Amino acid sequence: MDDSQGRLLVVEDDAALRRSLRTTLDVLGFDVGEASNGEDGLVRLRMVDYEAVLLDINMPGIGGIETCRRIRRVYTKIPILMLTVRDSEDDKVEALEAGADDYVTKPFQTRELTARIRAAIRRFRAPETPAEMSITNGAIMLDPVRRRVERAGIEVHLTPREFDVLQLLMAHAGRPITHARLVAALRVPGFGSERAYLRVLIGQVRKKLEDDAANPIYILTDSYIGYRFREP
């Protein structure tokens, strides 16, 4: 297990793309398993102890999103990366809500893909951190128990809602969090234009944490999807 970058299952219906992915990822040190559709993928997952799944969203049969949902029902922790196409934001959001951890847009650059896979596997292998442990990412430190945030050792004052948003994002650093999930975490019932409110809130947090709020390095925007905290 240690000589490998990780055991990865590629579920993709296009044989040529599967072949290319397999060859590349193989050489880059991953143990790659292949499945050509969702049903097959679920079977292979039962046979081999994979550490991550790369799942195409558009496939014949039960399709990527349903496959994702079924995997998540059995394996709560395994990272699922969706392969999506451009301009399918609704699909991406749906996949994230079905339990996917992240998505990569086709056509992709292998460098970006492998970085995402490595990060996912690293998170998967990392020991479970208790919820009350403080999180450090770059110069930002968040202490969930005392509800304190420090930037480069200096305390930053956040409103309770700003803190909630930041905590959610930092706890899932590297992964996109959908607007809907962030709004739900804010618990602002009947607000009407929650998205706009969220945008304002994120803007305020950025002002407090980022050097340049216009070019953020911590809280990144996934257009039309949501936000993600940078990879630790």
**24 belongs to the binding site for other proteins (CB under 8 A):** yes
Q: How many CB atoms lie within 10 A of CB 94?
A: 18
**23 belongs to the binding site for other proteins (CB under 8 A):** yes
Smallest distance from other proteins to CB 20, Å: 4
| Angle between helices 194-209 and 160-171 in degrees, nearest 10 | 80
Smallest distance from other proteins to CB 103, Å: 14
Smallest distance from other proteins to CB 126, Å: 24
What the block records as the tokens of 1 is 């297990």
Question: Which residues in 121-180 contact other proteins (CB under 8 A)?
Answer: none
Cα–Cα–Cα angle for 225, 106, 117, rounded to 5 degrees = 80
**48 belongs to the binding site for other proteins (CB under 8 A):** no
Q: How many CB atoms lie within 10 A of CB 143?
A: 15
Residues 6 or more apart whose CB falls under 8 angstroms from that of 198 comprise 165, 179, 182, 183, 186
Which residue in this structure is represented by tokens 């968040």? 142
Site for other proteins (CB under 8 A): which residue of 1, 3, 107, 187? 107
Site for other proteins (CB under 8 A): which residue of 2, 3, 27, 76? 27
Smallest distance from other proteins to CB 227, Å: 13
Site for other proteins (CB under 8 A): which residue of 20, 129, 136, 159? 20
**110 belongs to the binding site for other proteins (CB under 8 A):** yes
Which span sits near other proteins by CB under 8 A: 82-90, 95-103, 129-137, 183-191?
82-90
Euclidean distance between CA atoms 112 and 227, whole angstroms? 18
Euclidean distance between CA atoms 171 and 19, whole angstroms? 35
Residue type, 117: I
Question: Which residues contribute to the site for other proteins (CB under 8 A)?
Answer: 14, 16-17, 20-21, 23-25, 27-28, 85-87, 106-111, 113-114, 193, 195-196, 199, 203, 214-215, 223-224
